Structure 1
Amino acid sequence: MTISDDVVDQASQCLRNIGAALAEAGATFADVVRVRYLLPDRADFEPCWPVLRECFGAVRPAATMLECGLADPAMKIEIEVDARVPAA
């Protein structure tokens, strides 16, 4: 398992992981109601916008971006979501 040096690549990978977890739960990005972006350097957030818009542009969940340290210095972004799983 390797971590790209590029924050946009890392954001894309986060979103792929989130998409897989949502699918496993029977949900999609359309079901996301809250998203948190965690970055060691807030300047890295803006380059990620095009990738983030692909998943959240039409959904527009409540969102927070925090500048903070992450567990591994190689990590440049972490994305957390809360989703409302549709009733079966």
Structure 2
Amino acid sequence: MAVGHVSTGSPFEKDIGYSRAIVADGWVFVAGTTGYDYATMTIPASIVDQCRNALVTIGKALEDAGSGLDHVVRVSYIVPNVDEWPDCWPVTSEVFANARPAATMFSAKLQNPEMKIEIEVTARIP
């Protein structure tokens, strides 16, 4: 099976040299995605809004790859401030209510100080 590349058009993809997602052998690997609105390159101040934006971007990439959020099997969350992480739980539990993927949360500094969450997923193509 050929490898497929999915892009959101984010300047980060070109500048850093990566794809938003890669499709290979029935799997979709979505790169770490932050809460930017990639059409306007703006990012909201709240971690909850950033979480929502990241999941919308991820959902679109998965759809473009022939999958969807309900087919996510693994998710990793990266947050600089662990005290803010529980604020995202209502969003993540709603989005992943059907998939219930294996999940891990890491705490680490992100690329830019305004970034409050980065989310990476792996999904199957049904």
TM range (shorter): over 0.9
Residue 62 in structure 1 maps to residue 102 in structure 2: yes
User: What is the letter of the counterpart of residue 54 of structure 1?
Assistant: E
The offset of 1:43, in angstroms, is 1.1
Higher RCO, 1 vs 2 (CA within 8 Å, ≥6 residues apart): 1
Percentage of pairs with the same residue: 50
The offset of 1:49, in angstroms, is 0.8
Q: C-alpha distance in 2, partners of 1:35/1:26?
A: 18
Residue 14 in structure 1 maps to residue 25 in structure 2: no
Q: C-alpha distance in 2, partners of 1:58/1:45?
A: 21
Residue 77 in structure 1 maps to residue 117 in structure 2: yes
The offset of 1:58, in angstroms, is 2.3
TM-score if structure 1 supplies the norm length?
A: 0.94
Q: SS at the partner of 2:50?
A: helix
Task: Flag structure 2 segments of 5+ consecutive residues without an equivalent.
Answer: 1-40
Q: C-alpha distance in 1, partners of 2:89/2:48?
A: 9
Task: Flag structure 1 segments of 5+ consecutive residues without an equivalent.
Answer: none
Greater fraction helix: 1
The offset of 1:48, in angstroms, is 0.5
TM-score if structure 2 supplies the norm length?
A: 0.66
Q: C-alpha distance in 2, partners of 1:79/1:25?
A: 17
What do the CA deviations read for 1:49-75 (whole angstroms, capped 9, x no partner)? 111112112211010000001001100
Q: CA RMSD in A?
A: 0.7
* Residue 87 of structure 2: aligned partner: 47
- Count of residues in Structure 1 that have an aligned counterpart in Structure 2: 86
